[in-house]
Chains A and B, each alone.
Chain A
Amino acid sequence: MRDLSYAAVMARKNEIMKASMGMDYNDFIQSPVAFDYERMMRETGYSLEDVVRIQSQAKVGNTPLYELTNLTEAVRRTAEPGKGARILVKDEAANASGSFKARRAAISAYEAQKKGYKGLAAATSGNYGAAVASQAAMRGLKCIILQEVFDSKGIGQPEIVEKSRACEAYGAEVQRLSVGPELFYQLLMTLEETGFFNASLYTPFGIKGVETLGLEVAEQVRARYHKDPDAVVITHAGGGNLTGTARGLLAAGCNARVVACSVDLAGLHMASDTDFNKKSFTTGHTGFGVPFATWPDRVDVPRNAARSLRYMDEYQLVTQGEVFFVTELLTKMEGLERGPAGNTSLTAAVTLARQMDRDQIVVVQETEYTGAGKHHNRQLSFARENGIEVRIGDPSGNIPGKTIVIPEHLDQVRGKVQDMDHLRRSYLKNAAKALPAAQWTDNDYAFLAADIKSSVAWVKQNIAQI
């Protein structure tokens, strides 16, 4: 009889992972901090051409790139003379299941089928669940999605309730769970019991799937404007969106500035039952963005293929109120009604475009579908029902969990830049927890420097001060 206690199941993590993915991470691990990242991506992933072919057969990719001419003009009216870059948006809502997550799921489902698994399981409260369920449906595979949905009063976050519905609509079994990190425990139990494929968000297959998004951005901008984009803004949570897109841009030879953006939810605890329904965003926020940037290996696989600091040039924070305002503007000015999570990066793009020259291009690389539960009107009315003050005013008055301030004018959308070196130092502190710095080898130093887009000299200088 298997021991099903929390500690016993967690202790079996590595063997369960190996069986549920058909790959052994020990082949790539070099030390408690370092592993051969590029070899893992090469040997367990697919070539970009393979990914394009698999996705095109699975109703994924080749999404439209739109120029937001009205929004661009409105931003220019709030900018200094000569400033106001063109804002483009990649309409990823056009993928099967309504978000860019279909790119990740398409490769996982292909891999699961190729290796002979009968089904896939994934622990995700986001769009990825519907993406996996949709891809499983078209391949005739079974699918189990585990979601953190409701608090101890039984009240579900409307956005996640909608995702439960979508997954069931695609024929998946949906395990709806209360608040807590034990989602991972339940995933391990489910994988062990069913023998299904672990369609984790953080596998090399998943990240390879996002590379086509970066590739398409580079190719579409070049075809239409005969130049490269100057900046690409990416909503950042677990890091896969940023990592995959940036790798795709690099594969296309495009050196656009890679800008991460998250909604600032500082002060709210991600595992807190009472804070759970005080968040108006279920992803793309700092509760995931910062911990995953500063230590990627906190996930449901032994080493995370999504390594955002490796590719990030800048990290913008926006408030919930700013995102809701820009979401409404996208609808009213551009005739595109899309979900708020994708519009997080659009909000940062408004700030960036205002600072950039008129002849420059900033690309927002995703949208997501919207609808009942997900819609920003529902998120705001839900916030009010949970005692959160919603008002019009200066967005600097936003207090996560207490007040949402919706800007009155576009020139109040200003965002906030995070200190990249502070994030890099946090990463090094976390690395030192995994392996004391005194034991780091030359290989560890080289890995860490690459992993935070810095130099060995910088790592040595800064770890000495920590």
Chain B
Amino acid sequence: MIKSGTWVEIERVLLKPEQRAANLPEDTAKTPYLLRLSGFLQEDAELGQEVRVRSLIGQEHRGTLRLVNPSYSHSFGSTVPELLAIGRDL
């Protein structure tokens, strides 16, 4: 059970493939248009349930509960050795 008030991420389908804009490339056209958003859970729930959250500015959004305590893990990446040589021999 995930407690109400927990910082979570939801996902919602905004447009199904058949509802999307015209003239999309084929690969994009066959996918749904998705929203992901983080907010404070408004009721006790389990992952995968339809829930309500409030965003950082207090707006209410609905969606499927996807993650608990969503975090940023982007990085500087694994070292690209080709960059190390640059600037040493000028």
Contact = CB atoms under 8 A, between A and B. Distances in A.
Contact of B28 (A5, A74, A179, A382): A179
Interface in B57-89: 57-59, 72, 74-80, 82-83, 85-88
B83 A180 contact: no
Contact of B80 (A173, A373, A380): A380
B38 A168 contact: yes
Contact of B86 (A177, A179, A332, A378): A332
B86 A329 contact: yes
Nearest to A406: B82
Given A158-B74, A158-B77, A162-B74, A273 B83 contact: no
Interface in A157-199: 158, 161-162, 164-165, 168, 171-182, 185-186, 194
B77 A406 contact: no
Given A119-B57, A180-B33, A375 B86 contact: no
Contacts of B86: 325, 328-329, 332, 406
Contact of A144 (B19, B20, B59, B79): B59
A144 B31 CA distance: 25
B77 A329 contact: no
A269 B83 contact: no
B83 A271 contact: no
Contacts of B37: 173-176
B12 to A, nearest CB: 10
A407 to B, nearest CB: 9
A271 B57 contact: no
Contacts of A391: 82
A272 B25 contact: yes
Contacts of B38: 168, 174
Contacts of B1: none
B74 A373 contact: yes
A328 B37 CA distance: 35
B74 A333 contact: no
A329 B75 CA distance: 21
Contact of A6 (B20, B56, B83): B20
Contact of A164 (B33, B72, B85, B87): B72
Contacts of B24: 180-181, 271
Contact of A180 (B20, B39, B77): B20
B10 to A, nearest CB: 11
A377 B77 contact: yes
B42 interface: no
A328 B80 CA distance: 12
A410 B90 contact: yes
Nearest to A168: B56
Contacts of A74: 90
B55 A332 contact: no
Contacts of A372: 74-76
The list of the 8 closest CB pairs from A to B, nearest first, reads A381-B77, A332-B87, A373-B74, A173-B55, A378-B77, A328-B86, A142-B57, A152-B31
10 contacts: A142-B58, A144-B57, A173-B57, A173-B59, A179-B31, A182-B21, A186-B14, A273-B27, A390-B82, A406-B82
